[in-house]
Amino acid sequence: MPKNKTMKIRLFLFLSIAAVMVLPVAGCGFGGSGGTDPAEDPSASGGEPVIERYTGAKSREIPFVYTAKKELSLTFNGMGDQATMKSLLDELEKYQIKATFFLPGMRVAEEPDIAADILARGHEIENNTLNQLDLLKLDYEQIYKEVKLSSDVIERETGVRPRYVRTKSGDYNGDLPLVAAQLGMEAVVSYNINPKDRDMKSAEEIGEYIKRYIHRGGIISLNTDINPEVIPAVRYIKEAADEIGYRLVTLEQLVQDGGVRKPLEQIPGYDAAQINPDYHNANYQLLYKVETNQKHVALTFDDWGSDKTVTRILDILAEKDVQATFFLRAKGVEDNPNLARAMVEGGHDVANHSYSHPVVTSLTPEDLQEDIVKAHRVITEAIQQQPVMLFRPPTGVVDDERAKAISAAGYPNIAMYDVTTLDWDASNSADDILNGVMTQTKQGSIILLHMLDDIHTIEALPKVIDGLRNKGFTFVKMADLIQEQQ
Known catalytic residues are 302, 450
Question: What is the rounded CA–CA span in Å between residue 106 and residue 128?
Answer: 10
Cross-strand partners of 73:
219, 249
